[in-house]
Protein backbone atom coordinates (compact mmCIF):
# COMPACT_ATOMS: atom_id res chain seq x y z
CA UNK A 1 0.00 0.00 0.00
CA UNK A 2 2.89 2.36 0.72
CA UNK A 3 4.26 1.88 -2.77
CA UNK A 4 1.07 3.30 -4.33
CA UNK A 5 1.40 6.43 -2.25
CA UNK A 6 5.10 6.73 -3.08
CA UNK A 7 4.41 6.23 -6.79
CA UNK A 8 1.71 8.90 -6.73
CA UNK A 9 4.01 11.31 -4.89
CA UNK A 10 6.78 10.64 -7.40
CA UNK A 11 4.44 11.25 -10.36
CA UNK A 12 3.17 14.48 -8.78
CA UNK A 13 6.75 15.62 -8.18
CA UNK A 14 7.69 14.86 -11.79
CA UNK A 15 4.64 16.75 -13.07
CA UNK A 16 5.35 19.82 -10.88
CA UNK A 17 9.00 19.89 -11.82
CA UNK A 18 8.20 19.44 -15.51
CA UNK A 19 5.75 22.34 -15.45
CA UNK A 20 8.27 24.48 -13.58
CA UNK A 21 11.07 23.64 -16.04
CA UNK A 22 8.92 24.42 -19.08
CA UNK A 23 7.65 27.67 -17.56
CA UNK A 24 11.04 28.89 -16.41
CA UNK A 25 12.61 27.85 -19.70
CA UNK A 26 10.04 29.86 -21.63
CA UNK A 27 10.60 32.86 -19.36
CA UNK A 28 14.39 32.71 -19.66
CA UNK A 29 14.28 32.21 -23.44
CA UNK A 30 11.79 35.08 -23.63
CA UNK A 31 14.30 37.37 -21.93
CA UNK A 32 16.88 36.23 -24.47
CA UNK A 33 14.61 37.12 -27.37
CA UNK A 34 13.77 40.42 -25.68
CA UNK A 35 17.45 41.35 -25.46
CA UNK A 36 17.90 40.53 -29.15
CA UNK A 37 14.88 42.60 -30.20
CA UNK A 38 15.27 45.41 -27.62
CA UNK A 39 16.61 48.10 -30.02
CA UNK A 40 13.75 47.44 -32.44
CA UNK A 41 11.25 47.70 -29.58
CA UNK A 42 12.65 51.05 -28.47
CA UNK A 43 14.65 49.95 -25.42
CA UNK A 44 18.26 51.08 -25.21
CA UNK A 45 20.64 49.31 -22.85
CA UNK A 46 24.00 50.87 -22.11
CA UNK A 47 26.01 47.83 -23.10
CA UNK A 48 28.08 46.75 -26.04
CA UNK A 49 25.98 45.04 -28.75
CA UNK A 50 28.35 42.06 -28.81
CA UNK A 51 27.89 41.54 -25.08
CA UNK A 52 24.12 41.91 -25.47
CA UNK A 53 24.02 39.29 -28.24
CA UNK A 54 26.22 36.89 -26.25
CA UNK A 55 24.05 37.31 -23.17
CA UNK A 56 20.87 36.81 -25.16
CA UNK A 57 22.36 33.72 -26.82
CA UNK A 58 23.13 32.23 -23.42
CA UNK A 59 19.59 32.98 -22.23
CA UNK A 60 18.07 31.35 -25.29
CA UNK A 61 20.30 28.26 -25.04
CA UNK A 62 19.66 27.80 -21.32
CA UNK A 63 15.92 28.38 -21.77
CA UNK A 64 15.82 25.78 -24.53
CA UNK A 65 17.68 23.35 -22.27
CA UNK A 66 15.14 23.88 -19.47
CA UNK A 67 12.25 23.33 -21.88
CA UNK A 68 13.93 20.17 -23.21
CA UNK A 69 14.47 18.88 -19.68
CA UNK A 70 10.82 19.58 -18.81
CA UNK A 71 9.60 17.69 -21.87
CA UNK A 72 12.02 14.78 -21.35
CA UNK A 73 10.97 14.25 -17.67
CA UNK A 74 14.07 12.20 -16.87
CA UNK A 75 14.59 13.33 -13.26
CA UNK A 76 15.44 10.14 -11.38
CA UNK A 77 17.94 8.55 -13.77
Cβ burial, residue 31 (10 Å; 0-12/13-18/19+): middle
13, part of any domain:
no
For 5-46, how does the pLDDT look when each residue is reduced to its tens digit (9 = 90+)?
888 998 999 999 999 999 999 999 999 999 999 999 999 888
pLDDT at 74: 85
72, part of any domain:
yes
**Better-predicted residue by pLDDT, 25 or 3:** 25
31, part of any domain:
yes
Range of the domain at 54: 26-77
What's the number of domains the chain is made of? 1
21, part of any domain:
no
46, part of any domain:
yes
Amino acid sequence: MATDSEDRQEKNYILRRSIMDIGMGALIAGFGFFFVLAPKLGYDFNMDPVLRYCLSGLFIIYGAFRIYRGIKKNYFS
